[in-house]
Every structure is written in structure tokens, then in C-alpha cells.
Chain A
């Protein structure tokens, strides 16, 4: 041994590296060593090859690249001595992984080594093969491994068995070759061989159903006997752990029995007794015993067990739950989640303990317990459970609040039977965890409030109170702002007070204070402030005395840096100042949001399993439907979809279930892709109505609300964010049209009231089946003449409407004259959905404004 070659001894290198104080120092030492090793490799130094590989392994563990040593491993393996091979194989296993090409070169060496007579060398080869072989190597060397399975030496047998596991995992087709050797392993006495053999059988069952059947038929009896023997065996010092003989063998046997008993009632019956014995006999004061019990419970749950056995299993889990040891409780919670599917009743009995676990100090346990509680909620226990969870929400850790809030909201939504309870719980959750509540949850809350007119006063008052104490919760603030805006007068006038409420006086000024606070506090984000602005606008209409003050507040934001706020501030200011006459109609109470449609849309988009609230009624035609003047705006005129129906027809690119609510609630900031279109529906209406020339989408001629002429149809590029919405309520979306179309369509009386009749007649071009021309005739049925007659129409999203100018706008009395107008409708869902239309007529009679409106559902099919 030349002392000057190959440098330091391993020990010295390790010492040198550990002595380094900085990373840079360490890198220097490593670099020097690697250089020495590299030169030794290139000189083909035999003497220190083993030492160099050992060094490389150490360096590898430190995280440095060591691939240049891979070939050296091969050379060591190819050497003839045991020590060289040993370090060579170790190096191989550490420095390479199965994906590397170099591995293939080892196959030959492995083959030779597997055929040697030295059991330790064979052992080395089997070990290496078992740890890192690739699929090709597995195929090549399977025969050798099979042969090793049959030797006498238990050391080799057990290694060969485990190696076979790897082989069949990599190449499942080879499974049948190992089947009978594996079964015969089960007859051995040596524990190591048994453990390996049982594991091999388990894996065989996993990859091959035939193997399963074979083993089930031939080995079940033997397995039961084995388990019984080891369970009953007296003290055996070699295998004893905590008073139990070879718990590992117990566990593997139980696992194999599970595989065999799954889905097979005969086998399950056969192993019933031994399972009961193990379950009742095993002591559970040490981890080893608990590990066995755990596996036993898993097996019982996995096979077709008798109910008695199942109850036994769940009781074991119940005992686990009260164990001091965190690990045991965690494991029990895990298992109980699976058990709920099998026997929910039995698990319910442990509900209190599980609830306690939700409050545990260990985060993993808390999470598991919460999920389990969620699975256990049903109609009877939902109220007390929710109360417990909400009480805990108050004191829980910040990082847990998110999970907890989400789960509580899910529970409350899913199981609430009365609106008031639902609203109460949601308010509490918002106060305690409002920052974690997701958007669709509080949107749903608003939909619910909107659908519960008797609870609106209560809601707005509760929110007002909550706001005083918990105003840092973002979602609470948003919901409060919206409600105050909508139901402000209920708040101030104490409308609809419920018995449980304490008396409270809130002045108009107080209400405005709240909104102003939201608007001005620094922690409010843009969405909240936008909502506040709209709410203020609404209040300025509902509480006229505050209008001046509100105007001042809004004016401040005209110079806001945020575009959305600036835009709104300017517009609203303008409305307050100059357009008082239409202000009140602009901010009328919102129509009731269609709950079932919202839920349906939300379910389909979020795939949440929410049952539609039975207590709500789908909204009927709202009393105050706003008709923006959007008639002759061809394609995607942003008509407000207040009730959002025929929801899914034209794919609205950015449509999530939040979209339409965003518009309604006056937010709608983020969802529009940048096509420069108006972000929010709130402003859209205003745009149309007031034709304020803001940087919105249209460059059409400004439209005035009640113009006297028909409209020059203008074409606009459809904004891709179409908040294209339509006014039509609950159109049956299953318009099944007859397949064949008749070219002639009968005229219909589209609308008839005591004062007006409208007739529609239809023509279609044969080559354009989805386009229909409608000739409209208006007849005045009253005895007074109408002037300034304007016709407006709105159609569903999937229909495009084009209006030609009317023949005149004077309608003589008593049918002495008519107005005619032509509409062109294009039904993009022609053949699938029927046409529908809502119409509104505005005219003057004796210098008084009148309007009529109606819905036309009687279009002939096939349009």
C-alpha cells in the first residue's frame, strides 16, 4: 500500500470535513478529496478502490454529486473477494438509482453472484437486486431468484422472497412463477422466512387475482394455524417485544388474511374466530400490542365480518380514542373515518370523544377529528354539533380556523332546515372567522337572505350589531354593507322585529356611519369599498335627508387611485347630483335572487353536494323588474340578468357561479378578462341608462331612456365577458322542439291587455333556419290615443335580437291605426331551445306616462 497514493483514510476525511466551520471550507475539502478520487479512478488504482467508494458515499450523503464513481462500484462488484463485493454493492445501492443505464451493466455480475455457493455473496446480490432492480433486470434474473427461493438456507430464502416481491412489483406478469414457491414458504418454521413469505403472498394477491384464489384455497388453513400458534406461544426471548411474541409476524398474517377474506364470505367466516381471539386477547398497553390490534381492526373492517366482530372492532377504536398516546388517537381517528362507511351508528356513539379530539393540541389530530365529525353530522345532531364547533372556532388557532370555518359552513348549508337557524349560524361564523369564509359561501348567504323577506329586518339588524364588535372580519363587513344598502330602511324603522330581538334604535345617520367607516378604514380592500359605494348610493335614495352627506363622502373618492372606485364615485356622484328623478328607480330593491337556480349553478360549477334548501321558494316574477333600455343592442348587450336563468347556454368564458352575483352585489372586479369591458354589472345598468360616456365598451350612439324613435341598430363586437344576461325568468330549458320544421308559422297574439294588443307574425328563410323575422303589429284597444310609443324587448342569452325602426310612434285609439315594427331574432340554440321574449311598452296617454309589460311564451315551436 503506497501511503502517498489515494490520500487520507476514511476516518480522517470525515474528521476533516466535520472540522470545517463554514460551507466554503467544507466545499474545499470535498473538492480536494474528489480530485484525488478521480485521479485514482483514472489510474485504475486497485488498492484503495474500496476506500474511495466509501468516501464517495459519505460525500454523497452530504449532498455533493458523485456520479463519476459509479463505474468504480461495478469494478468492485466484479472483484472476487467478499469485502470488495460488499462495499461495491453498497455503493451501487447508494450512488445509483434504478433509472440509470449503468445499472444494466451489473446484471451479469449479479447473475454470477447469484449462482455462487457462498451464502453471504448470494445474500449481497439478492439484497442489491431487491432494493434497486429495474424491470429489465427483474426479467433477466427472475429464474435465478426463483432458484434461490428453493435453497435450504433460511437467510437466502428470506432474502430471495423479498427480492421476488420487488420483481413482481416491477413485472407483474412473472407473478405466477412465484406462486407455488411462495405457498410452500408458509410451511417454514423460521420466522424471518415466514415474515418474508407472508409478505410475498400478500403482494402476489395484490397483483394477481389468480394468485388470490390459489392462496385462498390452499393456504387459509395454514395461516390460521400459524396465527394461532404465534398468538398462543409462550415466552420466546428471541422474538419477544413487550411481552408479545413476534408482533411483526402477527401483523403480516393479519394483513394476508385481510387480502384473502376480502369479498369472500367463506374465508371470512373461517377466520372469524381467530380474529376475535386476537382482538380480545392482545394487550394494549404497549405500542406493539396496539399495532397488532390496529391491524386486526383493519382486517375486520376489510372482510365480510359478522356484526358482532365489527362491534368489537369499533369498541377497540373507541378505547384507542381515549388513550393518552397521541399516536394511538390519531390512528383511531383514521380508522373511524373508514368505519363510518361500514357502520355509522356504532361510530356515532363515540361522538363526544371525537369532538374532544377536535380541540386537541396536536394539529394532525385536530384535522382528522374535524373530518370525522363532518362525516358524522346528520339531521338530528347537527344543531348541538354546530354549536360546539362554533364555540371552538372562537378559541382555535389561526391556522386551524380556515379548515374549521370551511367545514362549519358546509355543515350548516347542507343540513339547515330553517332559514333563521342557517342565517344565525352564518352570522356567528362570519363574526368569528369571516376572513376565512370563501366567496361562494357568503354569496349563498345573501341569496338566502334575499329569499327570506320576513328575516331581512332581523338580518340587517343582527349584522349591524355584529359589525360593532367584529369589523375586522372581511366577509362580515361585505355582507353587512350589502344588507344595509338593500334593507337600510328596515334597519332604521325596525321593520319585522322578531320576538327574540332586543330593541335597538338606529338612525339613518348611524347607518351611513357604518358605510362610511367601511369605506374609509385602511384595511378595507377594493371590493369592500366598491360595495360600500353602491350601498351609499342606495341609501341616498332610501334616506333622502342623508343625501348631501353621502354625496360628500362619495366625492372624496372621485380622485381615488383605484380605477374601480374612481369610476363608481364619479358616476354615483353624478346620479345624486343631476339625476334625482331616476335615482330611486335605479336603486330599487333588488329582485329576489333565484335560490334554486343559484344553487344549481353553484353545484354544477363547484361539484359541491348541496341539497337545495327546501324551505325556499323559487322566485316568481319580481315586482320591480328593471328594464334597462337595452332593446336594440344587438348581440351582447349587457342586459342585466337579475335572475340568471337559462344559465348554461352560451359559454360565458369567465363565468363562474360568482359572476352574476358579483354583478348584483356590485363587485365583479376580477373576473373580466381584459377586453376593456365594464367590470361590474352595477355600473353597466347605469351606463345604459344614463349613457354616461365612460370608458366602457360601447361606442354606440348615446341612448336616452325613453327615446321617441326606434333605434338605429348598431352592431357591437360582443364583449367576451358577457355579462350578457337576460330578464327572462325560469325559462324552461328543455325546450324540445319538433325535429321537422314547417315553413309556415301561425301568427300569434303575443300580448293582450285591456288597452293594447300585440300580434306577431313570422317568416323564415329556408336556408337560415335559426333566423326568424317577426312582424309586430300594435293595436290600441283603449279609447285614448297613445303618443311617444316605444316598444322594448328582451330575449334569452342564446337569442340575438335586432330591431328595425317602428313605423310610427303614435297609436290611434280603438284600433283605428296600428304601428308595425320588424324584429329579427337569431336563435343560436335553434332546435334545442324555444324562443321566448319579454316585452315592455312605454307610451304617453293624455300626457301621462304609462307602461305595460309582459312575457311571450306562446311562440310557435320550431322557431
Chain B
């Protein structure tokens, strides 16, 4: 079972957190802090699994180049915490699945997309995972559902953020 999903930037800023197991607010910040320290310091050639407090944490680094005026190079770490007897390789695939869907939706997703449209990232995640388990293996279906809900939203009274 997936216990939580965290996206953090190279600098340790949290871009998305989703908790599928009961973690209180204070616990959550501790977890984030500890894991950031653990994962951000790992070298590039090492395997994508760390053991942490009896759980396994699978992480994957997603690099993207943002062509903004300053030519920033940012990378994002996708971290998923699972039980010790879960299949880590599958989790890597799930991360990849999520990233691809984000890519399709935002068109080559970069960190800024996730910052300014975090709620959309959450909506997408909610179409992929529920209760810490995979919900849909077809990227097309997920995209279709998201698009449909955007439609419904827009048909209602326009709510601008």
C-alpha cells in the first residue's frame, strides 16, 4: 500500500503532498524534513530505493529545463512511500505513469506548472490513485476524465481563481 506521495524540488520545497495513511500535521512536516534530507543527498548513480523507518521509499528524479529568461534548470523528486513487501519496480512505473500524464496535460510539464496549477496536479493524481492503490492504467482514460471535468466546471458559473 502506498502511504504517501511527495513531490519536492531540488531545493527541498514541497510541490505536492498526498497522504493515504493517517499522519498528523506535525508528523507530516517531520516526515517531509527527514525524507528530504535522506533523498536529496543521494548520489545520482545510486538505486532509487531507500529504507526509512521500516518502510521503503521509492523516488525518481524528473529533470526538466525551463526556458525562462533566466534559463533555470530545475529538477523535481517524486517520492512514494510503500510497505516493505510491496513491489518497488512497479512503483517506479507508477511514478512514470503519473509523470507522463502530467506531461500530456500540461504539455511538457515543468516545475512552474506544478506550482501555479497545483490544484490541477492534485486532480490528476486523484484520478490515478485512491486509497493508496492504482486506479487507472490507461493514460487516455485519465486524460479523458480530466477533460470532461474541466468541461463541467466551465459550463458552471465561471469561477476564476
- Chain A contacts of B47 at CB under 8 A? 326-327, 329-330, 362, 364-365
Q: Does A435 contact B (CB under 8 A)?
A: no
Contact between chains at B156 and A9 (CB < 8 Å): no
Contact between chains at A83 and B159 (CB < 8 Å): yes
Q: How far is the CB of B150 from chain A (nearest CB, A)?
A: 10
With A83-B153, A199-B133, A291-B90 as contacts: A362 and B138 at CB distance below 8 Å: no
Contact between chains at B45 and A326 (CB < 8 Å): yes
- Name the residue on B nearest A154 (C-beta): B141
With A97-B24, A162-B131, A191-B138 as contacts: A61 and B87 at CB distance below 8 Å: no
Which B64-88 residues sit within 8 Å CB-CB of chain A?
87-88
Binds B, one of A243-251, A479-487, A565-573, A655-663: A243-251
Complex Cα–Cα for A196 and B17 (A): 23
Of B50, B88, B140, most buried by chain A (CB within 10 Å of CB) is B88
- Name the residue on A nearest B48 (C-beta): A327
Contact between chains at A131 and B87 (CB < 8 Å): no
Complex Cα–Cα for A50 and B156 (A): 14
0/1 interface trace, chain A 1-14, chain B, CB 8 Å (1 if under): 00000000111001
- Name the residue on A nearest B56 (C-beta): A334
Q: Tell me the dominant secondary structure on chain A's binding face.
A: helix
With A81-B156, A82-B152, A97-B24 as contacts: A248 and B140 at CB distance below 8 Å: no
- Chain B contacts of A155 at CB under 8 A? 145
- Chain A contacts of B123 at CB under 8 A? 86, 90
Q: How far is the CB of A424 from chain B (nearest CB, A)?
A: 35
Contact between chains at A298 and B135 (CB < 8 Å): no
Complex Cα–Cα for A287 and B18 (A): 25
Q: Does A224 contact B (CB under 8 A)?
A: no
Pick from A50, A241, A327: contact of B88, CB under 8 Å = A327
Q: Does B105 contact A (CB under 8 A)?
A: no
Which A227-270 residues sit within 8 Å CB-CB of chain B?
238-239, 241, 246-249, 251-252, 255
Contact between chains at B51 and A82 (CB < 8 Å): no
Binds B, one of A51-59, A626-634, A711-719, A763-771: A51-59
- Chain A contacts of B157 at CB under 8 A? 81, 83
- Chain A contacts of B96 at CB under 8 A? 287
- Name the residue on B nearest A202 (C-beta): B133
Pick from B20, B116, B135, B148: contact of A11, CB under 8 Å = B116
Pick from B89, B115, B135, B161: contact of A287, CB under 8 Å = B89
Q: How far is the CB of A82 from chain B (nearest CB, A)?
A: 5
- Name the residue on B nearest A338 (C-beta): B85
Q: Does B22 contact A (CB under 8 A)?
A: yes
- Chain A contacts of B108 at CB under 8 A? none
- Name the residue on B nearest A58 (C-beta): B118
Which A748-806 residues sit within 8 Å CB-CB of chain B?
none
Q: How far is the CB of A222 from chain B (nearest CB, A)?
A: 19
Contact between chains at B135 and A159 (CB < 8 Å): yes
Count of chain A residues with a beta carbon within 8 Å of a chain B beta carbon: 72
- Name the residue on B nearest A248 (C-beta): B137
Contact between chains at A82 and B156 (CB < 8 Å): yes
Contact between chains at A251 and B126 (CB < 8 Å): no
Contact between chains at A97 and B161 (CB < 8 Å): no
Complex Cα–Cα for A98 and B25 (A): 11
Contact between chains at A18 and B115 (CB < 8 Å): yes
Contact between chains at A327 and B136 (CB < 8 Å): no
0/1 interface trace, chain A 320-353, chain B, CB 8 Å (1 if under): 0000001111110000000000000000000000
Which A12-70 residues sit within 8 Å CB-CB of chain B?
14, 18, 50-51, 54, 57-58, 61-63, 65
0/1 interface trace, chain A 268-308, chain B, CB 8 Å (1 if under): 00000000000000000001101100110010000000000
Q: How far is the CB of A383 from chain B (nearest CB, A)?
A: 31
Contact between chains at A9 and B161 (CB < 8 Å): yes
Q: Does A87 contact B (CB under 8 A)?
A: yes
Q: Does A165 contact B (CB under 8 A)?
A: yes
Complex Cα–Cα for A51 and B118 (A): 13
Complex Cα–Cα for A191 and B97 (A): 15
Which B104-119 residues sit within 8 Å CB-CB of chain A?
115-116, 118-119
Q: How far is the CB of A268 from chain B (nearest CB, A)?
A: 19
Contact between chains at A131 and B137 (CB < 8 Å): no
Q: Does A201 contact B (CB under 8 A)?
A: no
- Name the residue on A nearest B142 (C-beta): A192
Contact between chains at A248 and B90 (CB < 8 Å): yes
0/1 interface trace, chain A 195-210, chain B, CB 8 Å (1 if under): 1100100000000000
Pick from A14, A93, A191: contact of B137, CB under 8 Å = A191
- Chain A contacts of B134 at CB under 8 A? 195, 199, 248, 252
Q: Does B122 contact A (CB under 8 A)?
A: yes
Contact between chains at B135 and A192 (CB < 8 Å): yes
Contact between chains at A99 and B15 (CB < 8 Å): no
Contact between chains at A90 and B87 (CB < 8 Å): no
Q: How far is the CB of A27 from chain B (nearest CB, A)?
A: 15
Contact between chains at B130 and A130 (CB < 8 Å): yes
Pick from B24, B88, B137: contact of A249, CB under 8 Å = B137
Q: Does A94 contact B (CB under 8 A)?
A: yes
Contact between chains at A61 and B89 (CB < 8 Å): no
Q: How far is the CB of A113 from chain B (nearest CB, A)?
A: 14
With A196-B133, A298-B87 as contacts: A97 and B25 at CB distance below 8 Å: yes
Complex Cα–Cα for A295 and B116 (A): 38
Complex Cα–Cα for A127 and B135 (A): 10
Contact between chains at B131 and A195 (CB < 8 Å): no
Complex Cα–Cα for A155 and B22 (A): 26
Q: Does A158 contact B (CB under 8 A)?
A: yes
0/1 interface trace, chain A 797-820, chain B, CB 8 Å (1 if under): 000000000000000000000000
Contact between chains at A238 and B138 (CB < 8 Å): yes
Complex Cα–Cα for A661 and B137 (A): 63
Q: Does A105 contact B (CB under 8 A)?
A: no
Complex Cα–Cα for A158 and B141 (A): 12
- Chain B contacts of A166 at CB under 8 A? 130-131
Contact between chains at A87 and B131 (CB < 8 Å): no
Contact between chains at A14 and B153 (CB < 8 Å): no
- Chain B contacts of A238 at CB under 8 A? 138-141
Which A106-146 residues sit within 8 Å CB-CB of chain B?
120, 126-127, 130-131
- Name the residue on B nearest A247 (C-beta): B93
Complex Cα–Cα for A365 and B115 (A): 35
- Chain A contacts of B25 at CB under 8 A? 65, 97
- Chain B contacts of A327 at CB under 8 A? 47-49, 88-89, 92
Complex Cα–Cα for A521 and B79 (A): 49
- Chain A contacts of B88 at CB under 8 A? 327, 330-331
Complex Cα–Cα for A779 and B136 (A): 98
Pick from B19, B139, B153: contact of A82, CB under 8 Å = B153
Contact between chains at A61 and B118 (CB < 8 Å): yes
- Chain B contacts of A364 at CB under 8 A? 46-47, 49-51
With A326-B45, A327-B88, A364-B49 as contacts: A192 and B141 at CB distance below 8 Å: yes
Which A161-180 residues sit within 8 Å CB-CB of chain B?
162-163, 165-166, 169
Q: How far is the CB of B78 from chain A (nearest CB, A)?
A: 15
- Chain A contacts of B116 at CB under 8 A? 11, 14
Complex Cα–Cα for A94 and B50 (A): 26
Contact between chains at A363 and B153 (CB < 8 Å): no
Q: How far is the CB of A364 from chain B (nearest CB, A)?
A: 6
Complex Cα–Cα for A252 and B141 (A): 19
Of A50, A54, A97, A163, most buried by chain B (CB within 10 Å of CB) is A97
Q: How far is the CB of A323 from chain B (nearest CB, A)?
A: 11
Contact between chains at B122 and A94 (CB < 8 Å): yes
Which A462-478 residues sit within 8 Å CB-CB of chain B?
none
Q: Does A361 contact B (CB under 8 A)?
A: yes
Complex Cα–Cα for A241 and B100 (A): 11
Closest 8 CB pairs of A and B: A291-B89, A326-B47, A162-B130, A10-B161, A166-B131, A192-B136, A130-B130, A130-B131
Having A90-B123, A163-B130, A239-B138, one finds 5 other A-B pairs with CB under 8 Å, namely A65-B25, A131-B131, A199-B134, A295-B87, A330-B49
19 contacts across the A-B interface (CB closer than 8 A): A11-B116, A50-B159, A54-B119, A83-B152, A90-B122, A90-B123, A93-B18, A97-B23, A163-B131, A192-B137, A195-B135, A248-B90, A291-B92, A291-B93, A294-B87, A326-B48, A327-B47, A330-B49, A331-B89
